[in-house]
Amino acid sequence: MNRISSVAAVIALAFTATAASAAPFGALDECLEVGIELTSLPGSVPGQLAVTPCADCAPVLLSLDQNTRFYVGEHAVSMSLFRQYAQRDGRDIRACHDNDGQVTRVIVTGALDAADRNP
């Protein structure tokens, strides 16, 4: 029993030391999720995305550039295909941006149609 207790103590100490030395986590970006009716998409990139977090809130302007990625569900798509899916009924938009308001990715909910998937 004494040997098992010693091994358990060493393992517990190792986990405690590892946890204490770990750097604190910080968010790299923040995502706003809203209905498409509370979103104004730009016609092209670069541009600004206006997202209204709630019906009574002022719009939040976020910048899009050539590094912004567009998704339908988990599939990366072009901006034009993204816009087509965003127009469909019942879709929500998730706009993820960094601390400077630069949009890193924009995701429309739903699944990509089989015809729009790359073979």
Count of all residues that appear for the chain in the document: 119
Q: Which domains, ranges and CATH numbers included, belong to the chain?
A: 30-116 (2.40.50)
- pLDDT per residue over 27-67, tens digit each? 567 888 888 888 888 889 999 999 888 888 899 899 999 99
Check residue 17 and give its pLDDT: 47
- pLDDT per residue over 107-117, tens digit each? 999 999 988 88
Q: What burial class does residue 58 get, using C-beta atoms within 10 Å of its C-beta: 0-12 exposed, 13-18 middle, 19+ buried? A: exposed
Distance between CA 22 and CA 16 in Å, rounded?
10
Buried (b) or exposed (e) across 15-31, using 16+ Cβ within 10 A? eeeeeeeeeeeeeeeee
pLDDT for residue 12 is more than 70: no
- State the chain's mean pLDDT as an integer: 81
**Joined tokens for residue 3:** 């040997």
Number of neighbours of residue 38 by Cβ within 10 angstroms: 17
Cα torsion 76, 81, 83, 86: sign? negative
pLDDT for residue 100 is more than 50: yes
Q: What is the mean pLDDT of residues 61-85?
A: 94
pTM over 0.95: no
